[in-house]
Amino acid sequence: MAALALKSVCPSNELIYDDKEMPSIMVYIPKFRLCDVLSTADTSVHPAFRVGGVEIDGFYFGKFQTHHYNGRAYSLPGEDPSANTNLDTFVSYARAKGAGHHEVTCAEWAAVALWCHKNGCEPKGNNNYGKDSTETLYKAIPSMAKDSSNRIQRVATGTGPITWSHDGTLEGIWDMNGNVWEWCAGLRLVKGEVQILEDNNAAADGADMSATSAAWKAIKASDGTLITPDGTGTTTGSVKLDWTGTTWTYDTTISHTAGSHGVTFKDVTAQSSIGTAAKTLLQALAMLPDLSLTGDGIDATYGGDYFYADNSQDERCLIRGGAWSYGADAGVFASRLYNPRSNSGDLVGGRSAFIG
Protein backbone atom coordinates (compact mmCIF):
# COMPACT_ATOMS: atom_id res chain seq x y z
CA MET A 1 0.00 0.00 0.00
CA ALA A 2 2.82 2.41 0.81
CA ALA A 3 4.41 1.85 -2.60
CA LEU A 4 1.06 2.37 -4.32
CA ALA A 5 0.46 5.62 -2.43
CA LEU A 6 3.94 6.88 -3.34
CA LYS A 7 3.55 5.98 -7.02
CA SER A 8 0.22 7.79 -7.20
CA VAL A 9 1.89 11.07 -6.19
CA CYS A 10 5.53 10.66 -7.25
CA PRO A 11 5.63 7.97 -9.98
CA SER A 12 9.39 8.05 -10.49
CA ASN A 13 10.33 7.84 -6.79
CA GLU A 14 11.17 4.49 -5.25
CA LEU A 15 10.69 2.85 -1.87
CA ILE A 16 14.02 1.19 -1.11
CA TYR A 17 13.85 -1.28 1.77
CA ASP A 18 16.69 -2.16 4.12
CA ASP A 19 17.43 -5.63 5.47
CA LYS A 20 14.76 -5.17 8.14
CA GLU A 21 12.14 -4.28 5.50
CA MET A 22 12.06 -0.64 6.61
CA PRO A 23 11.60 1.82 3.71
CA SER A 24 13.30 4.98 2.54
CA ILE A 25 12.03 7.20 -0.26
CA MET A 26 14.71 7.62 -2.90
CA VAL A 27 15.17 9.44 -6.21
CA TYR A 28 16.93 7.57 -9.02
CA ILE A 29 19.77 9.42 -10.76
CA PRO A 30 20.53 7.77 -14.13
CA LYS A 31 24.02 7.66 -15.61
CA PHE A 32 25.30 10.63 -17.61
CA ARG A 33 28.58 11.76 -19.12
CA LEU A 34 30.90 14.58 -18.14
CA CYS A 35 30.08 16.42 -21.36
CA ASP A 36 26.39 16.35 -20.41
CA VAL A 37 26.94 18.68 -17.44
CA LEU A 38 30.29 20.39 -18.09
CA SER A 39 31.80 22.38 -20.97
CA THR A 40 34.32 19.58 -21.60
CA ALA A 41 34.23 17.36 -24.70
CA ASP A 42 35.07 14.38 -22.47
CA THR A 43 32.48 11.64 -23.05
CA SER A 44 33.50 9.59 -20.00
CA VAL A 45 30.78 8.89 -17.47
CA HIS A 46 30.68 11.14 -14.43
CA PRO A 47 32.74 9.52 -11.61
CA ALA A 48 29.58 9.04 -9.52
CA PHE A 49 28.69 6.25 -11.98
CA ARG A 50 31.83 4.15 -11.47
CA VAL A 51 32.30 1.98 -8.39
CA GLY A 52 35.26 -0.36 -8.09
CA GLY A 53 36.17 0.34 -11.71
CA VAL A 54 32.76 -0.80 -12.98
CA GLU A 55 30.19 1.51 -14.55
CA ILE A 56 26.76 1.52 -12.95
CA ASP A 57 23.51 2.59 -14.61
CA GLY A 58 22.64 4.98 -11.81
CA PHE A 59 22.23 5.42 -8.06
CA TYR A 60 19.45 6.25 -5.63
CA PHE A 61 19.73 9.54 -3.77
CA GLY A 62 17.80 10.14 -0.55
CA LYS A 63 14.77 12.30 -1.31
CA PHE A 64 15.00 13.71 2.20
CA GLN A 65 17.71 14.49 4.72
CA THR A 66 18.46 11.62 7.08
CA HIS A 67 16.56 10.84 10.24
CA HIS A 68 18.09 8.15 12.44
CA TYR A 69 15.97 5.37 13.95
CA ASN A 70 17.59 2.60 16.00
CA GLY A 71 21.05 3.28 14.62
CA ARG A 72 19.91 3.38 10.98
CA ALA A 73 19.55 6.20 8.46
CA TYR A 74 16.18 6.77 6.76
CA SER A 75 14.91 9.13 4.06
CA LEU A 76 11.35 9.99 5.05
CA PRO A 77 9.08 13.06 4.84
CA GLY A 78 8.00 15.18 7.78
CA GLU A 79 10.98 14.26 10.00
CA ASP A 80 13.37 16.39 11.99
CA PRO A 81 16.75 15.89 10.25
CA SER A 82 19.15 14.09 12.55
CA ALA A 83 22.10 16.25 13.61
CA ASN A 84 24.67 16.45 16.41
CA THR A 85 26.40 13.36 14.98
CA ASN A 86 29.86 13.00 13.46
CA LEU A 87 30.85 11.75 10.01
CA ASP A 88 31.82 8.22 11.02
CA THR A 89 28.48 7.71 12.76
CA PHE A 90 26.52 8.92 9.73
CA VAL A 91 28.54 6.50 7.58
CA SER A 92 27.99 3.57 9.93
CA TYR A 93 24.24 4.24 10.39
CA ALA A 94 23.72 4.30 6.62
CA ARG A 95 25.72 1.09 6.14
CA ALA A 96 23.83 -0.62 8.97
CA LYS A 97 20.83 -0.95 6.64
CA GLY A 98 22.54 -3.58 4.50
CA ALA A 99 24.40 -3.99 1.22
CA GLY A 100 24.33 -0.98 -1.11
CA HIS A 101 23.23 1.53 1.52
CA HIS A 102 25.71 4.32 2.27
CA GLU A 103 26.15 7.94 3.29
CA VAL A 104 25.87 10.18 0.23
CA THR A 105 29.26 10.73 -1.38
CA CYS A 106 30.97 13.83 -2.70
CA ALA A 107 30.70 12.43 -6.23
CA GLU A 108 26.97 11.70 -5.91
CA TRP A 109 26.14 15.12 -4.47
CA ALA A 110 28.23 16.76 -7.21
CA ALA A 111 26.42 14.80 -9.93
CA VAL A 112 23.04 16.08 -8.72
CA ALA A 113 24.33 19.64 -8.25
CA LEU A 114 25.85 19.74 -11.74
CA TRP A 115 22.62 18.39 -13.26
CA CYS A 116 20.72 21.17 -11.47
CA HIS A 117 23.13 23.80 -12.75
CA LYS A 118 23.08 22.56 -16.34
CA ASN A 119 19.27 22.48 -16.33
CA GLY A 120 18.76 25.84 -14.62
CA CYS A 121 17.15 24.21 -11.59
CA GLU A 122 19.31 25.17 -8.62
CA PRO A 123 16.85 24.79 -5.74
CA LYS A 124 15.91 27.10 -2.90
CA GLY A 125 15.55 26.00 0.71
CA ASN A 126 15.56 26.78 4.40
CA ASN A 127 18.53 29.14 4.53
CA ASN A 128 16.84 32.05 6.30
CA TYR A 129 15.21 30.82 9.50
CA GLY A 130 12.43 28.71 8.05
CA LYS A 131 12.34 30.16 4.55
CA ASP A 132 14.59 30.95 1.62
CA SER A 133 16.37 34.31 1.60
CA THR A 134 14.73 35.13 -1.76
CA GLU A 135 11.20 34.14 -0.73
CA THR A 136 8.94 36.01 1.68
CA LEU A 137 5.70 34.04 1.83
CA TYR A 138 6.78 30.39 1.79
CA LYS A 139 7.73 28.66 5.02
CA ALA A 140 8.21 25.06 6.11
CA ILE A 141 7.12 23.29 9.29
CA PRO A 142 9.53 23.83 12.21
CA SER A 143 10.99 20.62 13.63
CA MET A 144 13.07 21.90 16.56
CA ALA A 145 12.84 24.64 19.16
CA LYS A 146 13.18 28.21 17.97
CA ASP A 147 16.37 30.10 18.78
CA SER A 148 16.79 32.78 21.45
CA SER A 149 15.46 35.37 19.00
CA ASN A 150 12.33 33.28 18.38
CA ARG A 151 13.46 32.34 14.88
CA ILE A 152 12.84 29.00 13.15
CA GLN A 153 15.84 26.68 12.89
CA ARG A 154 15.55 23.17 11.42
CA VAL A 155 12.36 22.34 9.52
CA ALA A 156 10.70 18.99 8.85
CA THR A 157 11.96 17.21 5.75
CA GLY A 158 10.07 17.89 2.55
CA THR A 159 7.65 20.43 4.07
CA GLY A 160 8.90 23.41 2.10
CA PRO A 161 7.41 24.64 -1.19
CA ILE A 162 8.12 22.98 -4.51
CA THR A 163 10.87 25.52 -5.19
CA TRP A 164 12.89 23.54 -2.62
CA SER A 165 12.92 20.47 -4.87
CA HIS A 166 16.07 19.92 -6.94
CA ASP A 167 14.14 19.76 -10.23
CA GLY A 168 11.13 21.91 -9.36
CA THR A 169 8.75 18.94 -9.20
CA LEU A 170 7.14 16.86 -6.46
CA GLU A 171 9.33 13.96 -7.56
CA GLY A 172 12.58 15.81 -6.88
CA ILE A 173 15.09 15.81 -4.04
CA TRP A 174 14.26 18.13 -1.14
CA ASP A 175 16.35 20.40 1.08
CA MET A 176 19.74 20.36 -0.69
CA ASN A 177 19.84 24.10 -0.01
CA GLY A 178 20.04 24.87 3.69
CA ASN A 179 18.25 23.32 6.68
CA VAL A 180 21.34 21.39 7.82
CA TRP A 181 24.76 20.91 6.29
CA GLU A 182 25.19 17.34 5.03
CA TRP A 183 28.21 15.09 5.47
CA CYS A 184 29.52 13.92 2.07
CA ALA A 185 31.89 10.97 2.12
CA GLY A 186 34.95 10.41 -0.05
CA LEU A 187 36.74 13.79 -0.17
CA ARG A 188 38.89 15.60 2.36
CA LEU A 189 41.68 18.15 2.80
CA VAL A 190 44.94 17.20 4.52
CA LYS A 191 47.01 20.31 5.17
CA GLY A 192 45.33 21.75 2.08
CA GLU A 193 46.00 18.76 -0.16
CA VAL A 194 42.86 17.48 -1.90
CA GLN A 195 42.43 13.75 -1.29
CA ILE A 196 39.66 11.50 -2.61
CA LEU A 197 38.57 7.91 -2.91
CA GLU A 198 38.69 7.04 -6.60
CA ASP A 199 35.50 7.55 -8.64
CA ASN A 200 32.51 6.70 -6.39
CA ASN A 201 34.33 4.05 -4.37
CA ALA A 202 33.19 5.77 -1.17
CA ALA A 203 29.78 4.25 -1.94
CA ALA A 204 31.13 0.69 -1.97
CA ASP A 205 30.24 -1.69 0.84
CA GLY A 206 33.06 -1.69 3.35
CA ALA A 207 35.02 1.15 1.74
CA ASP A 208 37.70 2.23 4.22
CA MET A 209 37.38 5.98 4.76
CA SER A 210 39.16 6.10 8.09
CA ALA A 211 41.71 8.84 8.63
CA THR A 212 44.61 6.44 8.00
CA SER A 213 43.09 4.47 5.11
CA ALA A 214 45.33 3.64 2.16
CA ALA A 215 42.33 4.23 -0.12
CA TRP A 216 42.81 7.99 0.11
CA LYS A 217 44.60 9.32 -2.97
CA ALA A 218 45.98 12.70 -3.97
CA ILE A 219 45.37 14.12 -7.45
CA LYS A 220 48.36 14.58 -9.75
CA ALA A 221 48.08 18.14 -10.98
CA SER A 222 49.67 17.58 -14.39
CA ASP A 223 47.32 14.87 -15.66
CA GLY A 224 44.57 14.22 -13.07
CA THR A 225 45.71 10.69 -12.23
CA LEU A 226 45.56 9.53 -8.62
CA ILE A 227 48.74 9.11 -6.62
CA THR A 228 49.63 7.90 -3.14
CA PRO A 229 49.90 10.85 -0.76
CA ASP A 230 53.01 11.25 1.37
CA GLY A 231 51.00 11.47 4.59
CA THR A 232 51.88 15.08 5.38
CA GLY A 233 49.83 16.90 2.75
CA THR A 234 52.95 17.92 0.84
CA THR A 235 52.97 15.27 -1.92
CA THR A 236 55.09 16.50 -4.82
CA GLY A 237 53.00 17.63 -7.77
CA SER A 238 49.62 17.05 -6.13
CA VAL A 239 46.60 19.39 -6.23
CA LYS A 240 46.48 21.65 -3.19
CA LEU A 241 44.21 24.48 -2.11
CA ASP A 242 46.00 27.80 -1.58
CA TRP A 243 44.55 31.08 -0.32
CA THR A 244 45.81 34.02 -2.39
CA GLY A 245 44.57 36.67 0.00
CA THR A 246 41.35 37.19 -1.94
CA THR A 247 40.25 33.74 -3.11
CA TRP A 248 40.92 30.01 -2.97
CA THR A 249 43.02 28.71 -5.84
CA TYR A 250 44.27 25.24 -6.75
CA ASP A 251 48.02 24.90 -7.19
CA THR A 252 50.81 22.40 -6.54
CA THR A 253 52.12 24.35 -3.54
CA ILE A 254 50.69 26.37 -0.68
CA SER A 255 52.71 29.54 -0.96
CA HIS A 256 50.60 31.74 1.31
CA THR A 257 49.87 31.56 5.02
CA ALA A 258 47.57 28.64 5.70
CA GLY A 259 44.27 29.23 7.48
CA SER A 260 40.49 29.23 7.19
CA HIS A 261 38.63 31.40 4.69
CA GLY A 262 35.47 31.58 2.61
CA VAL A 263 34.69 32.93 -0.86
CA THR A 264 31.86 32.62 -3.35
CA PHE A 265 32.20 29.33 -5.22
CA LYS A 266 32.22 31.06 -8.63
CA ASP A 267 35.46 32.84 -7.63
CA VAL A 268 37.44 29.68 -6.83
CA THR A 269 40.25 29.40 -9.42
CA ALA A 270 43.03 27.10 -10.61
CA GLN A 271 46.58 28.07 -11.48
CA SER A 272 48.33 27.08 -14.71
CA SER A 273 50.05 24.25 -12.82
CA ILE A 274 46.71 22.41 -12.80
CA GLY A 275 46.28 20.51 -16.06
CA THR A 276 43.05 20.11 -18.02
CA ALA A 277 42.28 16.61 -16.72
CA ALA A 278 42.78 17.64 -13.09
CA LYS A 279 40.57 20.69 -13.60
CA THR A 280 37.87 18.53 -15.16
CA LEU A 281 37.97 16.17 -12.18
CA LEU A 282 37.68 19.07 -9.73
CA GLN A 283 34.74 20.44 -11.73
CA ALA A 284 33.11 17.00 -11.83
CA LEU A 285 33.29 16.89 -8.04
CA ALA A 286 31.82 20.44 -7.84
CA MET A 287 35.02 21.69 -6.23
CA LEU A 288 35.82 24.13 -9.05
CA PRO A 289 33.34 26.21 -11.08
CA ASP A 290 33.01 25.67 -14.82
CA LEU A 291 32.66 29.25 -16.01
CA SER A 292 32.78 28.18 -19.67
CA LEU A 293 29.48 26.33 -19.44
CA THR A 294 26.68 28.10 -21.30
CA GLY A 295 23.03 27.41 -21.97
CA ASP A 296 19.49 28.47 -21.17
CA GLY A 297 18.90 29.25 -17.51
CA ILE A 298 22.48 28.60 -16.38
CA ASP A 299 23.37 30.88 -13.47
CA ALA A 300 26.98 31.95 -13.92
CA THR A 301 27.07 33.02 -10.26
CA TYR A 302 26.25 29.51 -9.02
CA GLY A 303 23.57 31.07 -6.86
CA GLY A 304 26.17 33.00 -4.89
CA ASP A 305 26.89 29.77 -2.98
CA TYR A 306 29.93 29.90 -0.72
CA PHE A 307 33.05 27.74 -0.54
CA TYR A 308 34.72 27.51 2.87
CA ALA A 309 37.97 25.69 3.64
CA ASP A 310 40.80 25.41 6.14
CA ASN A 311 44.16 24.37 4.67
CA SER A 312 46.08 24.46 7.95
CA GLN A 313 44.78 21.25 9.59
CA ASP A 314 45.68 17.57 9.37
CA GLU A 315 42.23 16.54 8.12
CA ARG A 316 39.12 18.46 7.20
CA CYS A 317 36.10 16.57 5.85
CA LEU A 318 33.34 17.74 3.53
CA ILE A 319 29.87 19.01 4.34
CA ARG A 320 27.61 20.55 1.70
CA GLY A 321 24.45 22.56 1.17
CA GLY A 322 24.44 25.11 3.99
CA ALA A 323 22.11 25.49 6.94
CA TRP A 324 19.11 27.51 8.09
CA SER A 325 21.11 30.64 8.97
CA TYR A 326 23.42 30.92 5.93
CA GLY A 327 21.21 32.97 3.61
CA ALA A 328 22.40 33.34 0.03
CA ASP A 329 25.68 31.58 0.92
CA ALA A 330 23.79 28.26 1.11
CA GLY A 331 22.94 26.12 -1.90
CA VAL A 332 23.80 22.97 -3.81
CA PHE A 333 27.32 24.30 -4.51
CA ALA A 334 27.97 25.45 -0.94
CA SER A 335 30.86 23.43 0.46
CA ARG A 336 32.63 23.55 3.78
CA LEU A 337 36.00 21.91 4.40
CA TYR A 338 36.44 23.35 7.92
CA ASN A 339 35.24 20.40 9.96
CA PRO A 340 37.16 17.45 11.42
CA ARG A 341 35.37 14.12 11.06
CA SER A 342 34.63 14.25 14.80
CA ASN A 343 32.58 17.43 14.48
CA SER A 344 28.94 17.37 15.49
CA GLY A 345 26.40 20.12 15.95
CA ASP A 346 22.77 21.02 15.40
CA LEU A 347 23.70 22.55 12.02
CA VAL A 348 25.22 19.35 10.59
CA GLY A 349 23.28 16.33 9.32
CA GLY A 350 23.47 13.97 6.37
CA ARG A 351 21.67 12.00 3.69
CA SER A 352 21.61 8.36 2.67
CA ALA A 353 22.04 6.88 -0.80
CA PHE A 354 21.81 3.42 -2.33
CA ILE A 355 23.38 1.44 -5.15
CA GLY A 356 21.53 -1.75 -6.04
Phi, psi dihedral angles at 335 (to 5 degrees): -135, 145
Closest listed residue to residue 337, CA positions, set 199, 227, 205, 241: 241
- Lowest mean pLDDT across 86-100, 136-150, 216-230: 136-150
Question: Residue ranges per domain, the chain?
Answer: 2-120+177-354
Q: What is the mean pLDDT of the chain?
A: 96
Say if residue 18's pLDDT is above 80: yes
Instruction: Give pLDDT, residue 3.
Output: 63
What is the rounded CA–CA span in Å between residue 214 and residue 182?
25
> How many alpha carbons lie under 13 Å from residue 102 in its C-beta half-sphere?
27
Dump pLDDT digits (tens) for 298-352.
Answer: 999 999 999 999 999 999 999 999 999 999 999 999 999 999 999 999 999 999 9
Whether this prediction's pTM lies above 0.85 is answered by yes
What is the rounded CA–CA span in Å between residue 199 and residue 148?
43
DSSP symbol at 325:
T
Q: In one letter, which amino acid is 108?
A: E
Mean pLDDT throughout 39-52? 98
Instruction: Give pLDDT, residue 138.
Output: 83
Mean pLDDT throughout 9-19? 89
Q: For 18-87, list the strands marked E by DSSP.
A: 23-30, 50-51, 54-55, 58-62, 66-69, 72-75
Say if residue 66's pLDDT is above 60: yes
